[in-house]
Amino acid sequence: MLTAGPDAMRERILITDTFKRTARHRLMMGAGAVSMLLLGCTPATETAAPETASAAEIHERLLTLDTHLDTPVHFGRNGWSMADAHDYATDASQVDLPRMEQGGLDGGFFVIYTPQGELTSAGYAEARAMATQRQREILEMAAANAERLELAYTADDALRIASEGKVFAFQSIENSWPLGEDIGALQSFYDNGVRMAGPVHSRDNQFADSTTGDGRWGGLSPAGRELVAEMNRLGIVVDGSHASDAAIDQLIELSATPIILSHSGPRWAMDHQRNLDDDGIRAVAASGGAICVNSVFLAPFLESEELTAIEERMDAEYRTASPTQQRALVRELRAAQGRAPQQEANFDAFMASLLHLLDVAGVDHVCMGADWDGGGGVIGMRDIAALPQVTARLLAAGYDEEDLQKIWSGNVLRLLRQAEDYAANH
């Protein structure tokens, strides 16, 4: 495995920036002009760049990733394609390839999510089948869009794929319940591309206590401790999102490489168990880890009987309904949300949360994980097409392009490299 210090990492990112711009504009330039750009020369007809780049230009230069894309929940939907552009008003999704281009999102971690069930042999078998199917759908999506998207397995892969003008797709596991009592089963998921995994979701399981669980283990279970060691052995980044405060403390202590919280936020923004208090944020940062800011749990969720009824219908009907029926269901949902908003968090609240996280953790320990397609999004930032405004607001707050590169991908790639290097040398 290759290693890289901060200077080498910065050089790789700058090289990738050049290749990204070249790849995206290749169709508009002659082969000779592209060759000159790669060699560091300027075509004779090109005008000088302005002294001060706009926020949009800076966002385009950045290598951007999000650590928690729940978009695979849509891959098995009747008639849905990652290649098509979808509208938030008539489709429940927030991520697709056209919107990734529009929002300047170069890639991220596509999630193998399994909702928590029973800790029994039958429950484990059902969960394994669900998780295996979800990974298969991710692989099939990548194969179907091979000209525009490629699976990534290492930090260097992300840089190479972006340099070729394509989207890079890592995989992660949200909830390790499907492993059952066989930690060795993680090997198969790793072999097929998983490079990040969290032990637990919304209820305590065989590995750890959840932030919203009963505290069965007081943090990690004995099996959970073994799971951390196996993740380190394979080179999988350990994800503490959804784990209890005690479990996060133990993940930090036990993991041989720094942990990540792929979609979490500060309790300062909202006093909810899923958010981390400032002491916890400092502990993750002090250990070398990173917290990827969520766009959920910024304000209370407000339920109504009408919304609950529509959501239950969508759970039962949405994946197998025809595309026309799907659009009708979503229009009904959006109309109900307009009459009784589920939550009132807006883009300003999201940015306040992000800026607080940066203030407490420092720019070397913050990343982006808004929980798209898993409940994320706020008023004024409903899908990933709105991402350039995050860069604009961070620039206005005084962060420079080097800071932004760390936040948008550099910190995550650093953690990936550390996991890769540990696995290669132990």
Amino acid 303: pLDDT? 80
The whole-angstrom separation of Cα 135 and Cα 157 is 19
- The string of pLDDT tens digits covering residues 66-86 is 999 999 999 999 999 999 999
Q: Please state the pTM of the whole predicted model.
A: 0.89
Please calculate the CA angle 100-104-106 and round it to the nearest 5 degrees: 70
Two tokens, residue 354: 């992000």
The whole-angstrom separation of Cα 25 and Cα 14 is 17
Amino acid 46: pLDDT? 41
Amino acid 95: pLDDT? 98
The whole-angstrom separation of Cα 42 and Cα 18 is 12
Amino acid 177: pLDDT? 98
- For 267, which DSSP code? T
Amino acid 341: pLDDT? 83
Question: Which residues are within 8 A (CB) of 96 and not within 5 positions of it... i.e. 6 or more apart?
Answer: 71, 81, 82, 83, 84, 85, 86
State how far Cα 97 lies from the chain centre.
15
Amino acid 50: pLDDT? 45
pLDDT, block means (10 residues), the chain with 426 residues = 40 41 34 31 40 89 98 96 96 97 98 97 98 98 98 98 98 98 98 98 98 97 98 98 98 98 98 97 98 96 87 91 94 90 91 98 98 96 98 98 98 98 97
DSSP one-letter string for 153-193: -SHHHHHHHHHTT-EEEEEEEE--GGGTT-GGGHHHHHHTT
Amino acid 188: pLDDT? 98
What amino acid occupies position 420? E
Amino acid 28: pLDDT? 28
Amino acid 340: pLDDT? 83
Which spans in 235-366 are helix H?
A: 245-254, 278-286, 305-317, 323-339, 347-361
State how far Cα 28 lies from the chain centre.
31
